[in-house]
Structure 1
Amino acid sequence: MSLKDVTPEKVSEADSKSMSSRLLDLVKLLSSIKGDLANITSPPSFLAPSSVLENPHSWAERPSVFTAPAGEEDPQKRSLLVLRIFLTGLRNQLYVAGAPNVSIKKPLNAFLGELFLSSWADPDCKATTKLVSEQVSHHPPITAVHISSPEHGIRADGYARVEMTFSGTVNVRQIGHTMLHIDKFDEDYLLPFPDVQVRGFLSGCLYPEILGTYKIISSTGYVSEINFMGKGFFRGKKKNYFEARVYHTSQSKNSCLYEVAGVWSECWVVKDGSTGEILETYDADASENRPASMNIEAVENQDPWESRNAWKHVIGALKGGDLWTASAEKNKVEEAQRQMRVKEKQEGTQWEPLLFDSVPGNQHEAYHRLTENTGYNLMDSETKGVWRIKDEHAASVQKPFRGSLTPLG
């Protein structure tokens, strides 16, 4: 839907509709579009007041959870702690701008070159985590991410290409992965980006559901196998239900060191795989599990290419319920970006990411080592290679990041 299709009258009319009516309109829109929906603009009433580049913050916003594996001497327990990082991040990543009882919204599509920079501090564990994310490609949409805690010697580098289709539900396919590295043990973990379905069009409350089986693979031989079942399945009586087990590849297929089961958006239980003893009960809403406060520069001090500055007028309008202004301001950014791409084509130039580089898939040694004999496919041809942060450059880059060039031209 473009700006010319959205008049103030149409926006006001859409805003006054019931959620079920608006969902019906959305279903009609999605049903009329063939192919990938990833770059399609959703109606303003379904947009979250944040960019898709902010979503990876869910993995960094609990410094004590992210850094815990770096302080654990037992490799078996480290694998469990990495699984914990993965599970605790799912809720805030997928329930964008809401909670499990609130209909989810779609984050703003990131534009090429957009950046999100932030950090979190936890005084109890004396740790900080830093997040850097950049939209390194727009067609197809690819986001590159780096999360680190330098004082603990742990980092996560990831990238994902997103594809979306509609078949009664919105199907979100993520091509890519995250590689987590712990310096002290020279240890790597391969973490997946699971595929997601957006459901609830008939109930009037949209929610994300992960389906399928995924593995977190460690260079120490430990594997966390997660089976997402979801609502309506034989053993999944609630939405977001999952079961997981941690085992070592040297043991029998039926061996289990830890069992983890529950609802990833609410709570789950960790059990000893041998005795069944409950080792931990995790409640996502418990005060001790709340995210730390985000440290981010004030919008007026941000570079023009940083998300909250670039989208400030759109975000402000969405928060204020002014859908007409949100559409108009959003169109300004998107039209300027289209003109940039036209100019680059005319001049024969190519856009260069600021903080990330792409390398050929055959150079991704850690991935190939961890996935040997597993049947996993890197699919680097679909993600324009493997994306990694340029450490030295990222540490020294200064504002203005792109001189006088802004997202508006």
Structure 2
Amino acid sequence: MVLGHRKNSLTSNRSSTDATRDSDAEEDVEVVNTEQGNVLTHIISQLRPGADLSRVTLPTFILEPRSMLERITNFMAHPDILLTLPTIDDPIKRFVAVTKFYLSGWHIKPPGVKKPLNPILGETFTGFWEYPDGTKGYYISEQTSHHPPKSSYFFMAPEHRIRIDGTLKPRSKFLGNSVGSFMEGIAVMRFLNRNERYFITQPNMYARGILFGKMKYELGDHAVVRCPETGLEADIEFKVKGWMGGTYNAIGGYIKDSKSGKNLFELSGLWHGEMFSKDLATGKKELLFDATHAKPSMVKARPLNEQSQGESQRLWDTTTRAIKKADHRSATDEKSRIEDEQRKLASDRGGEENWTPVLFKAAPPGDEEQLDWIINAQVDANASPDKQIQQILAIAPILPGSSMQEAKQQPSEQSKTLSPQQSTQSQQTQRSGNDLIDFGQHDSSASQPRQQQPQQPSSSSASNDLAAGMSGMSMRGSSAAPAQQQPAAQQWRNGQPVVRQNSAGTEETFVDAET
């Protein structure tokens, strides 16, 4: 099977005898009132089936009160499964457990039919998990593209030798009485103690009944988990309910040895309930995962007052509080304000092509893993867990009480795909400081304003953008005069607006939002 290829489910049969009960649970249904229905009808009436919804502003009553960057963490929310995976010696049992882990995250969702907030360009979210054994997992993400949307992320649990890199690329389309969100992109999970990778794709998501009937959330089509080192592969179908029969939320599929072509296990059940695996050699069927009794461990983040303006929770705080209160007018106004500012910034810098991500860099072209972006830092797979933690915490603030000035400096690792011009710019930057994050400790930079153009990626551009809130978003005005003669991080620490040059050669000023 070609990596990243997804087969659509044109029909929906019942998965197996284990998934025949009706699972049309109340939490999966959204009842839309007359006013909300009129808004949806007005928006949809302007579209034709197959239309791209990436540039359509959706009403806030169908939005989940968190960003897509944060929602991705659902897939790391069962450490009771995740942390055991690298310790399983048998490769087949290990792969079955990886499949279990993959299926464990889909039941985590808000009631009704909700779509997460679309991250703005340059938005970031960082978080962590505290595990029962005293260790931690670390998560860093950034919106590396807005048109088309691309959410890039990095996760690592150093003591457990687990690393995950991924880019999610959702595409939304109007399908008549449904809206489909086609979840392109890939995640690569690594077990560093075994030199093993797992390539993972996602099912598509559908909101049914947006014009008539009750709104219903469904997962559909095929997803793949594949380990190139062992040749094992899982083809999982998320089955949508057909017109004449079938079951909501059913899954089915097989785990096979791609080298021999032999199916080893059959998968069945309900992704929001019980799921089973059947050993085809022995006929023995076992409970794989029971979502009805699962208790997810949700990601933790630093307090809002420690977050910079470009971080998801602080950026959308007013919007999400209004959504939770069902104050859709206020939510819409605040969401529109943020999006309008982004459009103005994009116009000022001459388009999105002039934007360079801060925390991520372009992945080498033609790579088997097919990742668009990877973390812009050196995290040594062979280093000790303590050293890896030090390297991770140097990338961006993650833990409570941490800030940019406290981050340890790390050598900058440039992408192998830099153009000759970018490579020259990078070398010039490294002469003044070979750190991934430069806080203006060099006298030459501290006394002169920066004149370099943004580049892919460099230590100085990383420090400027991270200190300015880790995003390219222009904040509400401040009475303070631009502090052009100070390094960005020093301006940020002093409470002054941060000034940087964009690729068009014009200056952008960043200040904290008014409280």
Cα 1:249–1:18 change in 2 (3 A) is: closer
TM-score (normalizing by structure 1): 0.81
Rounded Cα–Cα distance in structure 2 between residues aligned with 1:404 and 1:264: 41
Instruction: Tell me what 1:264 maps to.
Output: 271
Matched letter for residue 466 of structure 2: R
Give yes or no for contact 2:127–2:140 (8 Å, CA) kept in 1. yes
Q: Which of 338, 354, 358 is 2:358 aligned to? A: 354
Cα 1:174–1:284 change in 2 (3 A) is: same
Instruction: Tell me what 1:222 maps to.
Output: 232
Q: Which of 368, 393, 396 is 2:394 aligned to? A: 396
Report the CA distance between 1:20 and its aligned residue: 5.3
Give yes or no for contact 1:144–1:160 (8 Å, CA) kept in 2. yes
Q: Percent identity?
A: 26
Instruction: Tell me what 1:30 maps to.
Output: 44
Report the CA distance between 1:107 and its aligned residue: 1.4
- 1:40 aligns to 2:106 (yes or no): no
Q: Which of 160, 164, 170 is 1:156 aligned to? A: 164
- 1:59 aligns to 2:92 (yes or no): no
Q: Which of 190, 200, 204 is 1:195 aligned to? A: 204
Report the CA distance between 1:297 and its aligned residue: 0.9
Rounded Cα–Cα distance in structure 1 between residues aligned with 2:339 and 2:223: 35
Report the CA distance between 1:126 and its aligned residue: 5.1
Give yes or no for contact 1:63–1:128 (8 Å, CA) kept in 2. no
Structure 2 residue runs of 5 or longer lacking an equivalent are 1-29, 379-390, 397-402, 405-464, 476-515
TM-score (normalizing by structure 2): 0.65
Report the CA distance between 1:158 and its aligned residue: 0.8
- 1:68 aligns to 2:84 (yes or no): yes
Rounded Cα–Cα distance in structure 2 between residues aligned with 1:135 and 1:91: 24
Rounded Cα–Cα distance in structure 2 between residues aligned with 1:196 and 1:318: 22
Instruction: Tell me what 1:90 maps to.
Output: 106
Report the CA distance between 1:68 and its aligned residue: 2.3
Deviations along 1:339-377, one digit per CA (max 9) or x if unpaired, are 21122129x992221111112431x14x3xxxxxxxxxx
Rounded Cα–Cα distance in structure 2 between residues aligned with 1:43 and 1:80: 40
Give yes or no for contact 1:61–1:129 (8 Å, CA) kept in 2. no
- What is the CA RMSD across the aligned residues, in angstroms? 2.5
More helix by share: 1
Instruction: Tell me what 2:341 maps to.
Output: 336
SS in 2 for 1:257: strand
Q: Which of 158, 181, 184 is 2:190 aligned to? A: 181
Matched letter for residue 363 of structure 2: V
Rounded Cα–Cα distance in structure 1 between residues aligned with 2:135 and 2:394: 22
Q: What is the aligned length?
A: 360
Cα 1:360–1:39 change in 2 (3 A) is: farther
Give yes or no for contact 1:156–1:178 (8 Å, CA) kept in 2. yes
Q: Tell which structure's C-alpha radius of gyration is larger.
A: 2
Report the CA distance between 1:61 and its aligned residue: 1.5
More strand by share: 1
Cα 1:293–1:25 change in 2 (3 A) is: closer
Deviates more, 1:182-191 or 1:193-202: 193-202
Matched letter for residue 143 of structure 1: S
SS in 2 for 1:318: helix
Instruction: Tell me what 2:444 maps to.
Output: none
Report the CA distance between 1:170 and its aligned residue: 0.8
Matched letter for residue 158 of structure 1: G
SS in 2 for 1:85: helix
Cα 1:49–1:210 change in 2 (3 A) is: same
- 1:206 aligns to 2:216 (yes or no): yes
Matched letter for residue 355 of structure 2: W
Cα 1:77–1:295 change in 2 (3 A) is: same
Report the CA distance between 1:27 and its aligned residue: 4.2
SS in 2 for 1:206: strand
Give yes or no for contact 1:121–1:293 (8 Å, CA) kept in 2. no
Deviations along 1:356-403, one digit per CA (max 9) or x if unpaired, are 1112431x14x3xxxxxxxxxx5xxxxxx7211123486424546533
Rounded Cα–Cα distance in structure 2 between residues aligned with 1:404 and 1:357: 19
- 1:408 aligns to 2:474 (yes or no): yes
Q: Which of 312, 317, 320 is 1:315 aligned to? A: 320
Matches within 5 A, 1:231-270: 231-232=241-242, 237-251=246-260, 253=261, 255-270=262-277
List, as ranges, runs of 4+ consecutive aligned residues in structure 1 with deviation greater than 4 Å.
Answer: 398-401
Give yes or no for contact 2:31–2:214 (8 Å, CA) kept in 1. no
Instruction: Tell me what 2:115 maps to.
Output: 106
Report the CA distance between 1:127 and its aligned residue: 4.7
Rounded Cα–Cα distance in structure 1 between residues aligned with 2:243 and 2:269: 14
Instruction: Tell me what 2:399 maps to.
Output: none
Rounded Cα–Cα distance in structure 1 between residues aligned with 2:163 and 2:353: 33
Cα 1:249–1:404 change in 2 (3 A) is: closer
Give yes or no for contact 1:195–1:210 (8 Å, CA) kept in 2. yes
Report the CA distance between 1:312 and its aligned residue: 0.7
